[in-house]
Amino acid sequence: MTSPVTRRALFGITAATIGSLALTRTPVFAAPRPGQLYRAPGLQEANAWDQIALQPLHYAYDALEPHIDRQTMEIHHGKHHQAYIDNLAKIVDANPVIRDLDPWAVMTDSTLVPEEVRAGVRNNIGGYANHAFFWNLMTPNSLDPSAELVAAIEDSFGSIEDMQAAVNDAGLKRFGSGWVWLVVQNDHLAVVSTPNQDNPLMDLGADIPILGIDVWEHAYYLNYQNRRADYLTAWWNVIDWYTVSTSFETATTSPRT
């Protein structure tokens, strides 16, 4: 893992400096390569269903307190995320035709699998991928976003605070369970939300997520009960801007494959 010192060397420009630079920067959005952003084991290798497994967090369960409490993290990671993995494995074991397909292809185009198991596959491979993505978007040692990401956010939203307000608003408006995402969309950044365990890459979507917040009640209920707005506000205290910045860089500089 990159040390905080190295991270600061990469991204340690003050907000004031970034603000002045942003006025003259025009982000160049080349072709995104969404697959590079999801580092979940097995998701991007051919016929790698058996590699799909729960990975340990890179911080302790209580490291995000008081914003995200230890018990929520234990249950969310150890029970909910594990359940998506276990349920997906059961479906794949019972349907050998799926085993011949690549997990990434299935996640992005669930019509590849038989209709009778499509919903189960979609929900559980989405749950696997989304949570693997989500854990790496949080850290107890949040640093500054890259100058390039700040410039893109200011171009698309006006300010980081305006972007956060747009994300929080979309998260609040997501009825029931789902996710809210900050995505690279054509030549700008945008906020979208998805129901259940869907993500913007499903159905061959072209939006590339660089940040996603879980707004299922299981992500916040123990600490925040019904106060989803308070959870969303608190979440920004644990954002890993390093991961978001590097995901943005990958999404906007890598050739589309």
Return residues touching Mn ion (CB under 5 A).
Answer: 214, 216, 219
Minimum distance from residue 89 beta carbon to Mn ion (Å): 18
Smaller CB separation from Mn ion, 45 or 74: 74
- Residue 142: name the closest of 6, 1, 7 by CA: 7
Smaller CB separation from Mn ion, 88 or 219: 219
Minimum distance from residue 220 beta carbon to Mn ion (Å): 10
> What does the alpha-carbon distance between residue 129 and residue 125 come to, in Å, rounded to a whole number?
6
> What does the alpha-carbon distance between residue 254 and residue 257 come to, in Å, rounded to a whole number?
9
> What does the alpha-carbon distance between residue 58 and residue 223 come to, in Å, rounded to a whole number?
22
Smaller CB separation from Mn ion, 189 or 192: 192
Minimum distance from residue 239 beta carbon to Mn ion (Å): 17
Token pair recorded at residue 24: 């003259």
Cβ contact 145:245 at 8 Å? yes
Minimum distance from residue 180 beta carbon to Mn ion (Å): 12
Minimum distance from residue 81 beta carbon to Mn ion (Å): 7
Identify the three-state secondary structure at position 129. Answer: helix
Smaller CB separation from Mn ion, 124 or 245: 124
Cβ contact 35:104 at 8 Å? yes
Smaller CB separation from Mn ion, 29 or 134: 134
Cβ contact 98:92 at 8 Å? yes
Minimum distance from residue 24 beta carbon to Mn ion (Å): 40
Nearest residue to Mn ion, scored by beta-carbon proximity: 214
Cβ contact 163:87 at 8 Å? no
Smaller CB separation from Mn ion, 145 or 212: 212
> What does the alpha-carbon distance between residue 165 and residue 220 come to, in Å, rounded to a whole number?
19
> What does the alpha-carbon distance between residue 29 and residue 230 come to, in Å, rounded to a whole number?
33
